[in-house]
Structures are given as C-alpha cells and as structure tokens.
Amino acid sequence: MKNRKLICLVSGWFLVTILIYYCFPYFVIPFVWLFTATYLFILLIFQIVKTYRERKNISKPRQIRLITITILFFLTFYRFNKIPTDVIEKIDCFILKNKREQIVNQVKSGELKPNISWNNIICELPFEFPIISNGGNDIMIYKNKKTKKITIHFWIFRNFFDSPQTYLVYSEDSENITYYEKKIKENPDQNWKLKPKWYRILDY
C-alpha cells in the first residue's frame, strides 16, 4: 500500500465517519460500519503478514501503514465507532452552539412552529445546511399546556419507533428538567448537562 493509497484510505475513513454521523439513516449505519470494519480488518491482516515477512528489516513506510490501519480499525471497531462519534459531537456542539440558540429564539418568538401535517410537534427547519438536527434537520417542539414553557429537541442520532434516540435538548420546563436530571443521575455516561437549560440526553 503506497503512501497515496494510505492517504486516500484515511481520507475515505474520515468521510464515512462524517456521513455516518450526519447523513446515513439508522437502518443503513450497521451495514456501512460492518463493511468498513471488515475492509480494515482484511487490510490489517495483510499488513501484519507483510510485516512478519519483513521482520528482519521492517521499513519505516511499512511501520506507518501498520500503525495507521491498526488505529483506524480500533477507532471503527471499539464500541461501534464511539471515539470518533464523540469527538464529532463535541465539535458540532461547539461550532453550532450559536445557530441552535438562534433557533431557540425563533421558536420563542413564534417564527418557527411545528409545520408537519402528520405530527403536531415536529418542525422542519427552512434550510438544509448547516445540519443542526441530524436525520433530516427537523426539531421537536414541546410546549407545557399549563406553564407554556418550551422544550426543544435537536437530534444527535435519530431513530424511529421505540428505538433509542439521542438529543441535544433545550428546556425551560421544570417538569422536563427534573426528568433530565434524573436520567443524568441514572446514566451519567450517556446523559449530562451542557449548561443551564441545555442537556445531552439518550432516550427510549
């Protein structure tokens, strides 16, 4: 594997990781992951065999290829792409923080409202990019009937039916905040508070 091919491999891996995070529907992701992990595993075995054959005089390019493919395979295989996904999530939260706060203000002012005929809580955002809410750039808007306080869900990972979903949540509703705080205590690895009124929540 020449250096140009190695660069293409790393670039392709980054591209697939980004697409998995932002674009691929949930039912496609396991197949993309399986293909990527299998492909990297085959390359890794190939490099291990090559390295063994050259064990008496292992070249520096061979070492770089073996280390690079090993790292990519580990990052892909370990807890289903957890490390790169977590890194992307943190970068995304930082870069798009102001844009999401702007959307919250638009919801408060009434500029953005649920606008899907078959669902009275989903708002389809009037733009495709940047991707503020994964899985279609839709947000969920809840309003407490008694207090009129709002809660907004931005999807991090969008699933369907009763499958697990992950959100960035903005909430002014004390009832929902109590629920989120409880989830944080029960499972702090998957749920945490970002700042006042903002949460990262895994829900079922």
- pLDDT tens digit sequence for 43-55: 999 999 999 999 8
pLDDT of residue 2: 67
Q: How many angstroms separate the CA atoms of 192 and 90, rounded?
A: 13
Reference 201, options 160, 152, 161; nearest CA is 152
Residue 128 pLDDT: 86
- Where is 53: in which H helix or E strand? helix 29-53
Phi and psi at 99, nearest 5°, equal -65, -40
Model confidence at 78, pLDDT cuts 50, 70, 90, reads confident
For the chain, give every domain's residue range. 3-81, 96-203
pTM: 0.83
